[in-house]
Structure 1
Amino acid sequence: MWQNATIHYFCNVDFQEFITQGEKKYLPNLSVDMVIIGFHEDKLKCLLLQINEKWLLPGGYILRTESIESATVRILRERTGLPDPHFKFLSVFGGPDRKFTKEWQHFLKSHNLPFKEDSWINDRFVTLAHYSLVDFEKTNPVVGNLDEAFAWFNLDELPNMWMDHKEIVLAAKERLKNDIQKEQVTYNLLPTEFTMPQLHQLHQTILDENLDRSRFQKKMLASGAFERLQKLKKDSPGRNPYKYRVKKS
């Protein structure tokens, strides 16, 4: 786990207004959750937020005045600091018992705030889950009004999470495996300029299997999606692989 030590404290007055008046501003019973995935030290990592002793996905509520897509873009920009973040719709999660009453009760009690059973946040919530592939080094996570900290976790080493959030992360992991065999999306996890060995290692990590390097490179180049850059001279001896970037449409 790689963790940023940033801690954010919310204003009790603002939060009480959110609890009591939030359903006038946001669509009740509907939310957006984001599985934000980065690639760091040859590992796929997921950005999570901490509330008390549990972790949850970055997400948010949908303003009554905005579309689902606009809400998704807004939430991603707020959480990652990226101006034009990648994202894809994953699935709808909305089991009949999908409520966070126990989590909210514990949270409010720990911050000396009143808990009301009939609050809109204690109702059943259906979430529209998306996944987003980001450049780890360019992502600047930001905690919200409720979160205490954020951290990147390996997808294979997830912590104790709220409700069905772990299920959502694992669904995104499997979806990514399928998606990269149909379309080029993995470059979103790399810097703007990257080498074929980097792309090769990334695909091996996602698929969790060894891929023949020569065949992989031929396949990638045959896709026509990448532009090879001019090789730069270097002072030290040794291999100097070409760098590539995604062709501009």
Structure 2
Amino acid sequence: MINDEISDNMRLHGVLTKEKYVKHLSVDCTIFSVQDARLKVLLLNWQDVEYWSLPGGFVKEDEDLDEAARRILYERTYLDNIFLEQFHTFGKVDRTSLKLSKDFLKARNLTFPDDHWLFERFISAGYCSLVDYTQISVFPRYNNESGKWFDLDKLPKLAFDHKEIVKKGSEYIRKNIDTQIAASNLLPEKFTMNELQSVYEAVLGENFRRNNFQRKILAMNFLERLEKLYDGSANKAPYLYRFRDVR
């Protein structure tokens, strides 16, 4: 195991030294999910580093930005084939930190001179997605990272400007909730209006009157009404629905 980790670190050092990446450009992914009726965000932590961070990485010279975001997310989380959208560009002059960057590299047994491109100014493209948290059960071993879902109002110490990225990412998810929920796989293929309402309430953090919610959703015409759900109870059987293709 130790030899494997050393080999992985040597491989990463070699890749970064060859400078195969676009300088000054990175990608950060805000991945949200619903757990216990609350919206949560996925954060990663390297052993021996105090700060948590978003899944992120660098863009290769021969790949499109969207392609880089998908690759980076898979390398950090094993998440694949999800609905991933670019939502904002982060470019404040002081958004990164030399010391913190070195701490992250030190956790991987990597060192570079102070004038290396890794420590220069970076502009980051923010991507976001709303996913079913059960899609993530393990993390790539060579990253030596742990991952955890956090409530948005109970975030740990975050690296760089990642707190701002989480904030803007959550705002984007809520603003585009209809498309995000339809593409998130948070619901089964067929679901009731009550199940859909529960997800909306968790993401938006507010409650809705059942009749008002149903009227608003049906007026948007992105649901297909199916058969009724008969479960043998005395209650009136609700209709089942499924999403039309919104991607």
Flag whether TM exceeds 0.5 (same fold).
Answer: yes
1:208-234 CA deviation, whole Å, 9 max, x = no partner?
A: 322211111111112211112323443
Structure 1 residue 243 and structure 2 residue 240: aligned? yes
Structure 1 residue 185 and structure 2 residue 214: aligned? no
Identical-pair percentage: 37
Specify the alignment match of 1:162 in structure 2. 159
1:73-108 CA deviation, whole Å, 9 max, x = no partner?
A: 323344454543112221111111233421232234
Query: How many pairs were matched up?
Result: 238
Give the TM-score of the pair, scaled to structure 1: 0.83
Select the residue among 92, 109, 112 that pairs with 2:89.
Answer: 92
Residues 164-243 of structure 1 correspond to what in structure 2 (within 5 A)? 164-180=161-177, 183-189=178-184, 190-191=186-187, 192-234=189-231, 241-243=238-240
Give the TM-score of the pair, scaled to structure 2: 0.84
Measure the CA separation in 2 of the matches of 1:131 and 1:108: 25
Structure 1 residue 30 and structure 2 residue 33: aligned? no
Check whether the contact 1:77–1:85 (CA below 8 A) recurs between aligned residues.
no
Measure the CA separation in 1 of the matches of 2:231 and 2:196: 22
Unmatched 5+ residue regions in structure 1?
A: 1-7
Structure 1 residue 39 and structure 2 residue 34: aligned? yes
Structure 1 residue 107 and structure 2 residue 104: aligned? yes
Measure the CA separation in 2 of the matches of 1:150 and 1:239: 42
Partner letter of residue 126 of structure 2? A
Q: 1:19 to 1:63 in 2, by over 3 A?
A: closer
Per mean C-alpha deviation after superposition, the further-off stretch among 197-206 and 10-19 is: 10-19
Q: 1:145 to 1:125 in 2, by over 3 A?
A: farther
1:17-60 CA deviation, whole Å, 9 max, x = no partner?
A: 13422x2x111110111101111221111111112221111122
Structure 1 residue 116 and structure 2 residue 113: aligned? yes
Specify the alignment match of 1:4 in structure 2. none
Unmatched 5+ residue regions in structure 2?
A: none
Measure the CA separation in 1 of the matches of 2:114 and 2:54: 24
- Please report the RMSD computed on the Cα atoms of aligned residues, expressed in angstroms: 2.6
Check whether the contact 2:91–2:124 (CA below 8 A) recurs between aligned residues.
yes
Measure the CA separation in 2 of the matches of 1:105 and 1:194: 48
Residues 53-92 of structure 1 correspond to what in structure 2 (within 5 A)? 53-92=50-89
Q: 1:34 to 1:223 in 2, by over 3 A?
A: same
Measure the CA separation in 1 of the matches of 2:23 and 2:144: 21
